[in-house]
Amino acid sequence: MATHLDLEEQEQLDQLKHFWNTYGTLITTVIVVLALAFASWNGWQYWQRSKAAGAAALYDELQRGAEAGDTARVERALADMKDKFGGTAYAQQAGLLAAKALHDKGSVDASRAALTWVAEKASDPGYQAIARLRLAGELMDSKSYDEALKQLAVAVPKEFEALVADRKGDIYLAQGKRDEAKAAYQQAWSGFEAGSDYRRLVEIKLNAVGVDPQTLGKAAVASAK
């Protein structure tokens, strides 16, 4: 009986050795890969948390500089943000905040540089569109009309299309191009929801260029039938 059990145990050991010789390297490799992946995931999570905390701290520094009207502090914080955390949402928000603070203090070139950076480098199309709209407005104020229109020639998310059309209308009107302004304002009016503050503002602009918004509404109803 003992000999029979010994033989069974020996056979099982032989089978186990054969299995390990065949698959042992693969099993070890899989275990190592999984362990490395787990360690990498934990490391990446820690890095992301550290990155977010650092970006938040810099954003707070920039915000304090903006509230104090300290343009040097704002520019320094923005430069650090772009250098260290340029790919974060904090950096995109910081660029817009810095641009406003700098513009309010008369640092026009620095404001445009901040907006240009967001327009070109932001990963979020919404932030890019906001930056382009504001940059176009600043360029229009300085009578750089062609440059302003170039900023608005880029595709934007659908929810920004009416805003872009409205800004184009302002630029065309500033250039004395009433027909182009009418067309742009009509596009903007059609893009805004009925009863919205934006649409009411565009209606005032349409009246100023000789267009009755009521006729646009009737035309839209007629085309829908």
Residue 70 domain boundaries: 26-123
pLDDT over 60 at 172, yes or no: yes
User: How many separate domains does the chain show?
Assistant: 2
Confidence category of residue 217, pLDDT binned at 50, 70, 90: low
| 100 & 158 share domain | no
Tokens of 32: 């190592």
Which is more confident, 150 or 223? 150
| 163 & 79 share domain | no
Q: Give residue for tokens 């929801």.
A: 193
Gap between the Cα atoms of 59 and 94, Å rounded: 6
The DSSP secondary structure of 179-200, one letter per residue, reads HHHHHHHHHHHHHSPTT-HHHH
What region, left, alpha or beta, does residue 69 occupy, with left being phi > 0 and alpha being psi -120 to 50 degrees? Answer: left
| 111 & 160 share domain | no
Gap between the Cα atoms of 97 and 99, Å rounded: 5
Q: Per-residue pLDDT tens for 139-161?
A: 999 999 999 999 999 999 999 99
pLDDT value at residue 98: 95
CATH of residue 200's domain is: 1.20.58
pLDDT value at residue 215: 77
**Is there a domain that residue 9 lies in?**
no
SS3 49: helix
SS3 172: helix
Which is more confident, 115 or 215? 115
Confidence category of residue 18, pLDDT binned at 50, 70, 90: low
**Is there a domain that residue 136 lies in?**
no
| 119 & 164 share domain | no
Pick from 190, 188, 194: which is nearest to 219 by CA? Answer: 190
**Is there a domain that residue 6 lies in?**
no
Confidence category of residue 222, pLDDT binned at 50, 70, 90: very low
**Which of 107, 123, 139 finishes a domain?**
123
| 37 & 98 share domain | yes
CB atoms within 10 A of CB 64: 13
| 113 & 172 share domain | no
**Is there a domain that residue 35 lies in?**
yes
**Is there a domain that residue 104 lies in?**
yes
Pick from 122, 190, 124, 134: which is nearest to 157 by CA? Answer: 124
pLDDT over 50 at 192, yes or no: yes
pLDDT value at residue 11: 67
Q: What is the value of pTM for the model shown?
A: 0.74
Which is more confident, 38 or 54? 54
Work out the percent of the chain whose per-residue pLDDT is above 70.
74
